[in-house]
C-alpha cells in the first residue's frame, strides 16, 4: 500500500508542474500517446512549458497531444518544444492549431 500512496502523491504533484523537460528520452509515439491520455485526467494541468524535443515522436503521438490540447486538458500550456522529431507538415499544422486555441506556440 505504501507504493500506491507514493504513486498517488507523484501524480498529484504533476498537476502543479509549470515546466517539464523530457527531451532526448526516446518517448516515441506510444509514450506521447500515454502522456496525452494522462493529461486528459488533469496531469500537467498547470504546465506552461513542455519540452519533448529529440524523442522519436511522429504523427501519431502529435495527433494524441493535439487532441489533448484542443480539449482544454493543457489549457495553461504556452510553449511546446517538438524539435528534432519526425513530424509531417500536416501534423505540425494540426498541433499549431491546437496550441493557438490557448494562445500558445509550438517549436518544431
List the domain boundaries for the chain: 2-107
Q: Helix, strand, coil: what percent of the chain each, to 5?
A: 45, 10, 45
pLDDT tens-place string over residues 43-75: 899 999 999 999 999 999 999 999 999 999 999
Q: Lowest-pLDDT range, 10-14, 33-37, 74-78, 96-100?
A: 10-14
**Exposure string for 84-106, b = 16+ CB within 10 A, e = fewer:** ebebeeebbebbeebbeeeebeb
- The answer for residues whose C-beta is within 8 angstroms of residue 92's C-beta and 6 or more apart is 62, 106, 108
- How far apart are alpha carbons 95 and 57 in whole angstroms? 13
Q: Which set of grid coordinates corresponds to residue 57?
A: 515522436
- pTM for the full predicted model: 0.88
**Fold type of domain 2-107:** 3.80.10
Amino acid at each position: 500500500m505504501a507504493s500506491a500512496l507514493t504513486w498517488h502523491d507523484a501524480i498529484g504533484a504533476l498537476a502543479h508542474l509549470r515546466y517539464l523537460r523530457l527531451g532526448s528520452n526516446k518517448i516515441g509515439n506510444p509514450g506521447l500517446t500515454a502522456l496525452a491520455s494522462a493529461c486528459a485526467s488533469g496531469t500537467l494541468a498547470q504546465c506552461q512549458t513542455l519540452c519533448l524535443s529529440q524523442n522519436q515522436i511522429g504523427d501519431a503521438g502529435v495527433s494524441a497531444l493535439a487532441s489533448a490540447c484542443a480539449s482544454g486538458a493543457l489549457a495553461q500550456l504556452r510553449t511546446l518544444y517538438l524539435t528534432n522529431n519526425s513530424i509531417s507538415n500536416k501534423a505540425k499544422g494540426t498541433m499549431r492549431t491546437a496550441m493557438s486555441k490557448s494562445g500558445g506556440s509550438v517549436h518544431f
